[in-house]
Amino acid sequence: MRITLVGILCWAVTGCVPPQLALPQTDEPIPAGMGQLKLSWVSESASKALLGSAWASQTADVYELLALGSGQTYHFDVGNASDHTVALVPGDYRVLLLAGVKRSSGSITAELIGSALAEGVTVVEGVRTPVDLILRSIDLSISYQQTPTWQSSLTVQASGASRNQRLGMFLFGTSTTERPRFKSTDLWSGYEDCSTVSGTSDEWSCEATGTVPDASATVTVGLVGATVCYQDATDTWTTTYKLTKYSWTWPNRADLTDTHVLTPRTEVVATAVPPPTGADITIAWE
């Protein structure tokens, strides 16, 4: 899950409204009192993720960078080049690169499909420090436990992993946007909370059970991913809300059109079958 970028703008976040700072696009002179990070990234060479690095790198159209320091966080809205130079106040930083797909061409909602992490990055005044990043795609799966059978219960399972210990999604929030859910007009006539959720924000699983309708041809269930969260400099899981330009979410079928590139990866469709026992009745007029 690799991503390419070209940076534009940075926000230093110390309160509700982050101030804007102009950032160098190339190796410009280092601003007085600051240092620079020369960032470059590549896709993971041998991906083991279900989405796959090649697919993610070709699909991603949103990239954002977070530099988490002590007492302040810098945000960079970046494009899709392979390197980027950013100016930062001297200090130690955790660097996170998020890669996603927009919900639609003009949307500010981004569905996470990959990320990169660099720990313990030190910015020295007057020095340009190289930082090499490896982008990894997320893991994501949704499946049925058994064949959908008319008028029988059906358990749907989903699992995910960011493959980045500092990035994930909320699991147990009181808001419906801060916990994973399912959506199906077949099993529940709409949204359904997971009956069980286990794991951590960066690696989790969940499931829910519904009843297959009688004489249904197919059963379709989509995963409704929750809001993305990250570990700040104090290792506390926190939201990207009001920090990043885009509103980041785990892939969410309810957000997507039927033709969106993520739709086949966020829902499962299976043929429903009649029960193995019973009577077949044929009605005809004589």
CB 30 within 8 A of CB 87: yes
> pLDDT tens digits, residue range 76-112?
888 765 677 888 999 999 999 999 999 998 899 999 9
205 and 262 assigned to the same domain: yes
For the stretch 1-33, what's the b/e string if a residue is b when 16 or more beta carbons lie within 10 angstroms of its beta carbon?
bbbbbebeebbbbeeeebeebebeeeeeebbee
Choose the final residue of a domain: 137, 156, 184: 137
Considering only CA atoms, which of 208, 219, 154 is closest in space to residue 185?
Answer: 219
> Six-digit token pair at 63?
């990239």
DSSP summary character for residue 28: P
Domain of 193?
139-271
How far apart, in whole angstroms, are the C-alpha atoms of residue 204 and residue 209? 18
Q: Phi and psi at residue 54, in whole multiples of 5°? A: -65, -45
**DSSP line for 46-87:** T--SSS-HHHHHHH--EEEEEEE-SS-EEEEEE-S-BEEEEE
Q: Check which CATH number belongs to the domain holding 24 and give it.
A: 2.60.40.1120
Average pLDDT over residues 235-260: 94
> pLDDT tens digits, residue range 145-182?
899 999 999 999 999 999 999 999 999 999 999 999 99
In a domain, 1, yes or no: no
